Structure 1
């Protein structure tokens, strides 16, 4: 790993739309791992999470994060005025950029006015903190702000693309422009890198790097032991993307055929009322339960208490919770989409099935419940080894550290 030049401090900003957030624990892990490598990370978020922060580690991040939309309208307006008079040329070019983004965007005009205002405030904050590079998670609106900051203040930026939202809205979020203007772009899987490569000229492909999301020592256990219970667990936001409604219907198939099981849904979200109604409709109240949001340690215990982990996503990048379950020695049942097959090997560390296929999902659940403990043990060991090799947060943070060092040297 190259050493930073003495004149280049290991300091940078991180920008996220909402932080901390229960489903973004991988960002916290990444930041903390970078700090152990000597980086001084300044956290910025456009806003906080709109639900209770239940994890103690996430609560600790609240006080370390500067929130743009917590500022008074007067302070943001003052930042705009100062920018207009101090650097009228740069402000004009940034306004033209904002208008160009707006014309191609799937979001209304006023949103881009807000992004420019946020960029004015953040640009001043970055200058005051002497930060010359900004890394962003997700290629949506926070990367719009980073692109405008680059116009306003010359602060370089990079960003991590997760999917699936970015790939669903390539034109609407101006993803091509963002990739072209960034110092480098991170994809969390080879699948994600390939989607980004489709957007730009081959001469720019070298700037697209794969850095996996990682798990920490709480999940990277030294040994794994199979669980012989009949419990399956699913962890994730209760929403259309994760497919829990289909999971409940598949569970109803198992119940009607006399298969004994327990299904735990860890999480919450906008689809909870509908999923609770499905549970009642299928008379599964004694077999399926929803825990609501849980902290990291509770999630870990729920996974350890299950025979297998199931995630029937319709769309995905590469879910971190799959890595967590596999690291804890649990075979996983998930869909054959996006980056999932890069980690999950069918019948070696889990079962893959087509997205949206209820019968195949029910069959995978049945197979997991009927698989002998010795086979579950071998599958768990295979999965834990794969995660340790590909998704150790310290290793992946080392890759990012090298990229940041190179970006600051140029």
Structure 2
């Protein structure tokens, strides 16, 4: 079989929260797949991770440079392929009609797609794959229409499931060669919004971890009382609820420490709540940290807590479990497919402060020997379900199928 040349398209790459994309790309390259990295933005991002810095050097950026270059390229592609660009324009305007964005935004996506389409031809890419079903998937769909190169995309959630009609999810799936869901839950949510005739297109490929992340000796768990919450500081991750639960425990005289590893739009609010609730001795915020720092932070704790309100299937849960740390998290989305209550972690109802506080108390009271057993169970589940080389093999098979290479959009 000829060499697979796959173009990966992401809205912003690399990013500290998108390490799973980097892992997938690098695992495919280990299999001999040639990857062209394309991102709309991200060349000026503040990066902590050396691996991300190297990835940035390998990435082409659609919006880097002067606006005139983007406009000129779009006009050139339109002159070379007037019929295809006309069809792509009609498609962009069709999506604009149901969108929450102003129609000029979709014309901007079309201009970006012209740049991507030109690069696809220059690199002789066999296939275009986008991560996330939002704007990057729209650019991929339009670029595919212009270039004739088939496309696919990975849906992570929850953003795609919050507004499936507004982002034209049905149309994107209908015109794709295939679509990846990262969990059974994600597949079921796609089934809700697409035609049943397109259900066979939806494949499950898990996010994965490379062996280097967890293939090292982990010493015995110290009998400390620290938990860590890793994630963007935002409403859907539930850190404000975690502070309320921490306040309940502190008022009961419980000894504990919670580390919030991450940053985000709610950083100022969270800092003020820590002060207001008198939790400065119990709760600490690290800001953005690198992958190695995430690993060290997880290893320094008894377990990880993630009180999310909305998720797909969080990669940080996989990371914690691979490091033999049980997880305290919510009964939502794809999480129960991975975390088994009382076996490798604890599950509690989302949005319930009392249940969250109770789960933390149980974790703190569990003897270190039992925590270690649960941690080993957690690691085994990750090895079984989330090995990045196996998952890369699965998606490479999808890229290489003959029906993918000839898949075309339906009118």
TM-score (norm 1): 0.96
1:234 to 229, 237, 241: 229
User: Shift of the alpha carbon at 1:82?
Assistant: 1.4
Question: Which residue in 2 is equivalent to 1:24?
Answer: 18
- CA deviation map 1:14-70 (0-9, x unaligned): 000000000000000000000000011000001007641111110111100001110
Among 36, 41, 44, the alignment partner of 2:35 is 41
Give yes or no for contact 2:150–2:405 (8 Å, CA) kept in 1.
Answer: no
Which of residues 68, 79, 83 in structure 1 aligns to 2:77? 83
| Secondary structure at the counterpart of residue 229 of structure 2 | strand
Aligned to 1:186: 180
Deviation string, structure 1 residues 227-281 (Cα, Å, up to 9, x no partner):
4210000000000010111111101111100110011000001101100111101
Determine the C-alpha separation between the residues in 1 that align with 2:74 and 2:44.
27
Match of 2:409 in 1: none
Correspondent of 1:11 among 5, 20, 43: 5
Structure 1 counterpart of 2:387, from 392, 405, 410: 392
Separation (CA, whole Å) in 2 of partners of 1:142 and 1:396: 22
Question: What is the root-mean-square deviation of aligned Cα atoms in Å?
Answer: 1.3
Aligned to 1:304: 299
Per the alignment, in what secondary structure is the counterpart of residue 218 of structure 1? Answer: helix
Deviation (angstroms), 1:408? 5.1
The whole-number CA distance in structure 2 between the counterparts of 1:238 and 1:91 is 40
Q: Distance in 2 between matches of 1:252 and 1:183?
A: 50
Q: List aligned pairs for 1:232-381, cutoff 5 A.
A: 232-381=227-376
Q: Distance in 1 between matches of 2:249 and 2:116?
A: 53
- Match of residue 74 from structure 1: 68
Residue of structure 1 in register with 2:206 after alignment: 212
| Runs of 5+ unmatched residues, structure 2 | 407-411
CA apart distance, 1:358: 0.6
Q: Secondary structure at the match of 1:198?
A: helix
Structure 1 CA distance for aligned equivalents of residues 222 and 168 of structure 2: 46
Q: CA deviation at 1:86?
A: 1.5
**Cα offset, 1:117, TM superposition:** 0.5
Cα deviation for residue 203 of structure 1 reads 2.6
CA distance in 1, matches of 2:78, 2:52: 37
CA 49–270 in structure 1, closer or farther in 2 if over 3 Å, else same: farther
Partner of 1:61: 55
The DSSP-based 3-state class of the residue aligned with 2:284 is: strand
CA contact (8 A) 1:220 1:388 kept: no
Deviation for aligned residue 1:292: 0.5
Does the CA contact (< 8 Å) of 2:43 and 2:61 recur in 1? no
Q: Which residue of 1 aligns with 2:112?
A: 118
Aligned to 1:102: 96
CA separation in 1, counterparts of 2:405 and 2:169? Answer: 26
For the 8 Å contact 1:136–1:143, the answer to whether it is kept is yes
User: Secondary structure at the residue paired with 2:7?
Assistant: strand
Partner secondary structure for residue 241 of structure 1: helix
* CA deviation string 1:284-330 (max 9, x = no partner): 11111001100111110000000110000010000000000001011
Q: Structure 1 residues 168 and 269 mapped into 2: Cα distance closer, same or farther (>3 Å)?
A: same
Secondary structure of residue in 1 paired with 2:227: strand
Q: Residue 199 of structure 1: CA displacement?
A: 2.1
* Number of equivalent positions: 404
Classify the secondary structure of the residue corresponding to 2:55: helix
